[in-house]
Amino acid sequence: MKNMVEYFIKYRSSVGIICLVLLLYLAEPSPKSITVGFFFIIAGMFFRAWTSGYLNKDNELATEGPYALTRNPLYFGNFILGLGIAIAGNNIYSYLIFFVFYLVFFPFLMYIEHQRLKNKFGEEYKDWSKKSNSFFPKIKRLKRLDFNISFYMKNKEYRVLFFSLVVIAILVLKVLEKI
């Protein structure tokens, strides 16, 4: 079982890239779909960037900032970002590819992450998990905003910005190709 889990985690990015290439190939973007999708992509990138500024992975349990709102802010940011790409893709295939990929991988990854954190941080994790939703953020006032740019860089979150800009550029080129 452990080998299957490791295999699943190891190849999720490769499967994600294949899904993205297929989505971009099948996409039928319009200026309107790209504009609306772009706002979702920006929101997802922002949420991920904000999250990574609080994540000192494997050294401490992140419970502030976006982690005060949801236990899975990176996965929530991925959802918003991926939804934006599907919206920009502007057809049923874009949505289908996105939702199938997301629903196959992310609930499983969230479960594994919860188990890992529970084992590593014990009671601290259990107490925090009672105060935050698993996926959708709780709307509440945040007490502290201690974003750490060094965590952002250490977590290599800038790659998501680059990746998102490439996706938008490809979709814009597809629209321009039609004109």
Kindly report the CA angle at 83 between 80 and 89, in degrees rounded to 5? 145
What is the pLDDT averaged over residues 108-115? 88
Q: Count Cα atoms within 13 angstroms, Cβ side, for 174.
A: 20
CA dihedral 44, 50, 51, 55 (to 10 degrees): 150
Cα distances from 23 to residues 19, 139, 166, in angstroms, run: 6, 32, 14
User: What digits encode the pLDDT tens for the residues 35-92?
Assistant: 999 999 999 999 999 898 888 887 899 888 899 889 999 999 999 999 999 999 999 9
What is the pLDDT averaged over residues 143-171? 80
pTM of the model: 0.85
**pLDDT bracket for residue 123 (50, 70, 90):** very high
Q: Mean of the per-residue pLDDT values for the chain?
A: 88
What is the pLDDT averaged over residues 159-170? 86
Question: Which residue, among 72, 80, 67, 54, has the nearest Cα to 160 in the 3D structure?
Answer: 80
Per-domain residue ranges of the chain = 2-178
Cα–Cα dist 85/36, whole Å: 10
Please determine, for residue 1, whether its predicted confidence score (pLDDT) is greater than 60: no
